Structure 1
């Protein structure tokens, strides 16, 4: 999960103003549940990167593929004011408003897995993942 460590490193650069000893906190919101075979690898990578970097990371996902619930999870993450937010963007129309709210709140946002075609438009710093075109 080298890409995740890279992404968290980018976000960690924004934490330079933290008080000495204060731990950075990131929230990851994806459309995939941690029990899913693909997303369990992502979740394990998130956990490993957090341990290696000495940061706190919370992984959140809706119970099912539910964009309304995912938008709510992003909104809750914004309200929690993390040092950074990592999101997948399977549906920019459904999630765009919530992601843009994070950007407006000054929370650094990166996207993973899906969203290569829309991340710039939403104000996301960087996308880590594949293009979704054949």
Structure 2
């Protein structure tokens, strides 16, 4: 083949290659916050209680994903199973393209979730689900294995030589909170008592913890199931003249400070920003590319123990409201 023909053939091959790459790239879904109307509308529905700052971080994550993917986001919350179930029904009537929700009260949520699935609306569970999400036809679960997290806490209590501890539950019946206390009980060799407090009434929470500490002076550790309950737990210990220490599920800037001061032994970070972000992004991936993340199992976001050793590193993100 002559030199001239060889050059022509190389140019043709380069052109074909460029067209092929360009076509393949164009076929792939791209995340963009570009101008233009949103292609999809996704609803995120939680059992968040008023005053619980944990859910603010969940929402930030969801909003970040919605902005990246250029989707319209509807954020709703109701602290009861029946209320959250009604919200699912409401957004189905609005013809949303996908739903991310929590399953803290799976029995109350089951009918509405199955209705969504029957209408071919993809559903992702996050934060709370137990082992019930697969039975409902939910596509995936994004969060932590709460029982395993509790078991890790039980191991820590054993290592610290604790013989009696309290588990402070602010939402009786919520499956993920029950799993945490049950997980502690599975591995903790001492006596564990669950203390139920009435939601986010901090004065009542402090009073109930104080009463329990006064009733049982052997309690050496208090585990709260939300970072907001650390201050009333610390105050209760002071009032009861107890020597108990405190650890918590959940993380916020105040918890970081208390860890650095030695007043809080540890906090379990379950990465709520990631839970909110991946819930919305996973719906976008499914709608645009047919992806189902998790491989049939949960997509775990924790737990990570935050202690004095890593508090400063993680604290910088907690202070900006994303941890």
Question: What is the TM-score normalised by the length of structure 1?
Answer: 0.78
Which structure's relative contact order is higher, taking Cα pairs within 8 Å and 6+ residues apart?
1
**What is the aligned-residue RMSD (CA, Å)?**
1.8
- Partners of 2:38 and 2:71 within 8 A in 1: no
Q: Could you list the runs of 4 or more consecutive aligned residues of structure 1 that deviate by over 4 angstroms after TM superposition?
A: none
- CA apart distance, 1:52: 1.1
TM-superposition CA deviations, 1:35-87 (whole Å, max 9, x none):
5211000011111111111111111002xx22111111011111112111101
Q: Does 1:61 pair with 2:77?
A: yes
Aligned residues: 114
Indicate which of 108, 113, 117 corresponds to 2:131. 117
Q: Does 1:131 pair with 2:142?
A: no
The whole-number CA distance in structure 2 between the counterparts of 1:33 and 1:55 is: 26
Q: Does 1:38 pair with 2:54?
A: yes
Q: Unaligned regions of 5+ residues in structure 1, if any?
A: 1-12, 14-20
SS in 1 for 2:75: strand
What does 1:1-134 correspond to in 2, within 5 Å? Answer: 23-33=39-49, 36-62=52-78, 65-133=79-147, 134=183
The whole-number CA distance in structure 1 between the counterparts of 2:104 and 2:136 is: 13
- Partners of 1:34 and 1:43 within 8 A in 2: no
1:57–1:22 CA distance, 2 compared to 1 (3 A): closer
Larger Rg: 2
Q: Unaligned regions of 5+ residues in structure 2, if any?
A: 1-28, 30-36, 148-182, 184-323
The whole-number CA distance in structure 2 between the counterparts of 1:81 and 1:130 is: 30
